Structure 1
Amino acid sequence: MKIPMKRTVFKVILRKSEYKEQWSLIIESFPVFVPGREKPMRKHEPLGRFVTTPIWDKNSSGRTLADGKAYYRPKRDVNGIIQCRSTIDQEACIFADKVRDIRQHEYDNQSLYTETEAEQAAQNERSKCDFIKYFEDLRDKRHQNSSKSIRVNWDREVKLMKMFTEGKPMIFSTIDMNLLEDYKNFLINAPQGGSKKGTITRNTASTYFSIFKAGLHQAFIDGYLTVDIAAKAKNIAYSDKQREYLTIDELNTLAATPCDRPIMKRASLFSALTGMRHSDIQKLKWKEIIKDGEHYRILFTQQKTKGVQYMPISDQAYQLCGERGEPDRLVFEGLQDPSWINKPLERWIKAAGITKHITFHCFRHTYATLQLTNGTDIYTVSKMLGHTKVTTTQIYAKIVDEKKEQAADTIVIATDFTT
């Protein structure tokens, strides 16, 4: 029983023309195994070249034709190239052999790897790529329509990585736990951007390292890393910081205080009553505020998380929106970016006699803190704020716990209990 060859071999053969005394040069491949067929096939590739002066090997007869004539094979040199008397024909045969060699090489390389080995070879190529370039492409793809603050953070992350590598590529194959630790230490002491002096805060460094890890995790998913190294790296721990908020009395005082930017005042108080971010309030349209029975609700997509938020608002919050406009018009038209309202907001807070450092985002803190203080459960508050994790909301719960502890120590009985 003959065992079929598993390796396909490519060979130059001659095929006689039916009408002329010439032979076409053809590349024959055999055996070729096709799915669904038990027997191997022979494939032929005409090269469009012809010869008329082949030299036949009279010592190596092939088969006898029907008319009784012997069929001879073409004579070949030590390299297997068909020999011809004509120089032009000989050059055509040399050309045909070069094509045969290319086809054999292509096939051998294609068959060289198993599927797993081929993937490994591809992964090896990916490991030579630059992570910073990959990160930039990921930023453009993922955050093209994200909020300005997110894009700014990803842009700053790119600059920090280039600063860390001194402008050189960060090759995937060089990324290991040691590099991550070095980069973490770099971020903790990284300089502030722009004209600001000093180093970034620890919490800012933690944010940038989280973004860095997000890029590494996606690179693992895309096959640039063989290990999800981001999952192994511990983040830079946040340091607790005071989250300023307004008490209900301070909020009432502020509401009664005149402000030279009415649109900013209405938007600020609206944030305190709904917990919405500045970016979401700035882009809120009238068509996103709907009446459901006796109550008003807002259906919008958060700029930061891209999550769809469906939340009820109070009548007071709706009154702060002003006169209802066309569906596609902004509710708070003319509300500027935070950088442009810092000074007017500072003047308004000072005029109300409030000495706390209050930014626009503090109105969101105020909403969360007052809700928890008044007994709203943390899971409901988390949903109202649009947090993806309740652990984020627990930051406000700590503030409430501190207030409870202070309240516990407020009542003191003037009696010596030791007697």
Structure 2
Amino acid sequence: MGTAKRDKSAFTKLSKYVGSSLLPIGRVTTTFLEDYRDYLLYELGNSINTVATNLKVIRSVVNRLYREYNLDWVNNPFNNFSIKVEVTERIFLTEKEIATIKSAEISQQNILDRVRDIFLFECFTGLRISDILTLKWSTYTRNGQKRFINTTMRKTGRKIAIPLNHIAFMIMRKQAHERNKRLPEVNPQTRIFTWLGDQFDQLSEIQQYNKINSEITRINKYLKELGRSVGLQKTLSTHVARHTFGTLAVTAGVDLYVISALMGHTNIKTTQIYAKIVDDKKISALDSIEELVWDLLEKK
């Protein structure tokens, strides 16, 4: 389901539950959330993950209101309310599949080239797509030979410094060159990626939220086309890019707590899922080796 449709579905359910399209922020307490969760589970028969998706939409709006109106974060009902999910299979790309996308010949005039850039940037930074879309050049810093993105995550409000590897940096530099600018010459208040347009900052908070979701839906549509065009069997999405970063980082031996910080996870258990994926890859590899040995023995 696209982000816009998902959010509309979540708000429709919530409106039916409260009997109104308006819900004062003061009514959203921990008890309210617990009752609403039970309503979704037992009266509507939603799955645990569907319930989690609906509650995350509400959490996003509540957090945004707390930030926008400088409300006391201590009173945020989600401080004492956990959203439970069931682990589902996470699709990620192998190094070979990433190389296939990166090396594919696509004209720079083709929108799939723009989509490829933002997909690979997510693969190599681990940033959420909503954060990537809103990145401005002012977030780019350099310390000697080391380059970073210093930003505040929209979802959690946490500040984070993301180190840029060569591929991520070259993608950024390409965005500057497409505007006939060298990196030092770009306007620090313009966005690195241009999907949101020049008028984004003039939009209201809710309009910005809708614009971001609309562009994410559009990007995911073109990502599916990109995957088909390069011959991949997997369906590409912005989620796949982020899962790819997590899996590659674990495979490279990066500490789980470092990965958790880079990806902005609020719970280390979320990051541990990637360790499980890598362990499963190792077991699969050993099984393949065992099958190969048996095949060789049988041929003797």
Q: TM-score of the superposition, structure 2-length normalised? A: 0.68
Could you report, residue by residue, the CA deviation over 1:292-330 in whole angstroms, capped at 9, with x for unpaired residues? 111211111111111111121112211101232221121
Could you report, residue by residue, the CA deviation over 1:229-275 in whole angstroms, capped at 9, with x for unpaired residues? x95x8x67422211111100000001112443122211111111111
Query: Would you say 1:378 and 2:225 are equivalent positions?
Result: no
Give me the whole-angstrom Cα distance separating, in 1, the residues matched to 2:275 and 2:284: 14
Q: 1:389 to 1:406 in 2, by over 3 A?
A: same
Aligned partner (choices 85, 92, 98) of residue 238 of structure 1 = 85
Q: Which runs of no fewer than 5 residues in structure 2 stay unpaired?
A: 63-70, 178-182, 197-213
State the identity as a percent.
Answer: 29
Query: Would you say 1:346 and 2:245 are equivalent positions?
Result: no
Give me the whole-angstrom Cα distance separating, in 1, the residues matched to 2:22 and 2:126: 42
The one-letter code matched in structure 2 to 1:277 is: R
Aligned partner (choices 164, 171, 174) of residue 17 of structure 2 = 164
Q: 1:400 to 1:327 in 2, by over 3 A?
A: same
SS in 1 for 2:121: helix
Aligned partner (choices 193, 212, 234) of residue 356 of structure 1 = 234
Aligned partner (choices 327, 331, 337) of residue 215 of structure 2 = 337
Q: 1:210 to 1:190 in 2, by over 3 A?
A: farther
Check the 8 A contact 1:296/1:315 in 2, yes or no: no
Q: 1:343 to 1:168 in 2, by over 3 A?
A: closer
The alpha-carbon deviation at position 185 of structure 1 amounts to 3.8
Check the 8 A contact 1:263/1:334 in 2, yes or no: no
SS in 2 for 1:320: helix
Pairs within 5 Å for 1:20-35: none
Check the 8 A contact 2:101/2:116 in 1, yes or no: no
Could you report, residue by residue, the CA deviation over 1:281-300 in whole angstroms, capped at 9, with x for unpaired residues? 11111121111111211111
If asked which structure has higher relative contact order (CA below 8 Å, sep 6+), I would say 2
Counterpart in 2 of 1:83? none
Say which structure is richer in strand: 1
Aligned partner (choices 143, 158, 161) of residue 292 of structure 1 = 143
Aligned partner (choices 390, 395, 403) of residue 281 of structure 2 = 403
The alpha-carbon deviation at position 334 of structure 1 amounts to 3.0
Pairs within 5 Å for 1:122-201: 159-167=12-20, 183-188=36-41, 201=47
Q: 1:160 to 1:319 in 2, by over 3 A?
A: same
Q: Give the root-mean-square deviation of aligned CA atoms.
A: 3.9
Check the 8 A contact 1:289/1:297 in 2, yes or no: yes
The alpha-carbon deviation at position 190 of structure 1 amounts to 7.2
The alpha-carbon deviation at position 384 of structure 1 amounts to 1.5
Counterpart in 1 of 2:209? none
Give me the whole-angstrom Cα distance separating, in 1, the residues matched to 2:219 and 2:146: 31
Give me the whole-angstrom Cα distance separating, in 1, the residues matched to 2:244 and 2:189: 29
Give me the whole-angstrom Cα distance separating, in 2, the residues matched to 1:212 and 1:316: 36
Aligned partner (choices 200, 205, 215) of residue 51 of structure 2 = 205
The one-letter code matched in structure 2 to 1:271 is: E
SS in 1 for 2:141: strand
Give me the whole-angstrom Cα distance separating, in 1, the residues matched to 2:246 and 2:219: 22
Q: Which runs of no fewer than 5 residues in structure 1 stay unpaired?
A: 1-148, 192-198, 223-227
Paired positions, count: 247
Give me the whole-angstrom Cα distance separating, in 1, the residues matched to 2:153 and 2:273: 21
The one-letter code matched in structure 1 to 2:123 is: A
Aligned partner (choices 244, 252, 259) of residue 99 of structure 2 = 252
The alpha-carbon deviation at position 167 of structure 1 amounts to 4.9
Q: 1:330 to 1:247 in 2, by over 3 A?
A: same
Could you report, residue by residue, the CA deviation over 1:339-394 in whole angstroms, capped at 9, with x for unpaired residues? 11222211110011111122122111101101101211211111211223322211
SS in 2 for 1:372: helix
Q: 1:176 to 1:237 in 2, by over 3 A?
A: closer
Q: 1:200 to 1:349 in 2, by over 3 A?
A: farther
Could you report, residue by residue, the CA deviation over 1:196-249 in whole angstroms, capped at 9, with x for unpaired residues? xxx75531302445777998xx99x76xxxxx9x95x8x674222111111000
Larger radius of gyration: 1
Give me the whole-angstrom Cα distance separating, in 2, the residues matched to 1:236 and 1:310: 27
Give me the whole-angstrom Cα distance separating, in 2, the residues matched to 1:360 and 1:399: 18
Q: 1:184 to 1:399 in 2, by over 3 A?
A: same
Say which structure is richer in helix: 2
Q: 1:201 to 1:254 in 2, by over 3 A?
A: farther
Could you report, residue by residue, the CA deviation over 1:163-196 in whole angstroms, capped at 9, with x for unpaired residues? 23545999x99x998x8776434213677xxxxx
Check the 8 A contact 2:115/2:219 in 1, yes or no: yes
Aligned partner (choices 141, 151, 167) of residue 316 of structure 1 = 167
